[in-house]
Structure 1
């Protein structure tokens, strides 16, 4: 018996990395933790988890539909994070679309 297949076609998955300026790891971690907590409540959120790799952080986020992601990006907590993290990052973050293999 195999597990039921879930349709990934409409889902949107992203993987933005965040590299803090030296000495700003803790404030960036706190900002990412707050963003994670609030974003998990946004409509259509499938996954929103921040991972630490030493001082670098990687966010894995999944959304049911592009429209859910679009709505998420207009939320105050996302806009506030983007404004706050600009001063905390060693380089601007980029958002990389990813696709599940199965």
Structure 2
């Protein structure tokens, strides 16, 4: 199992737009066969996506989906900081 944590900090004036874009991303991603979990957590202008994937092959497919690539490109000017992505493996 592969876990991903993505942290997205929206500029204050773009919160609603970023939220809508992330909701679309979550909806589409949850349809992927290798997606075990794709949960969104929010507070103010910070969005945290906690993901679990069956395997690297499934994650690779996700990373090349047009809706993910579009989100990354379209959000560049809407976020306060670059999107942070952490790939982790459960050890205990």
CA distance in 1, matches of 2:80, 2:17: 13
Q: Say whether residues 1:93 and 2:83 are aligned partners.
A: yes
Partner of 2:55: 65
More strand by share: 2
Runs of at least 4 residues of structure 1 off by over 4 A? none
Q: Aligned-pair RMSD on alpha carbons? A: 1.2
> Which sections of structure 1, spanning at least 5 residues, go unmatched?
1-10
Residue of structure 2 equivalent to 1:8: none
Q: Which has the higher contact order (CA 8 A, sep 6+)?
A: 2
2:32 to 37, 42, 53: 42
Structure 2 residues not aligned, in runs of 5+: none
Deviation, structure 1 residue 16:
0.7
Deviations 1:35-79 (A, max 9, x none): 000000112000011111222110001100011000101111111
Who is 2:16 aligned against? 26
> Larger Cα Rg: Structure 1 or Structure 2?
1
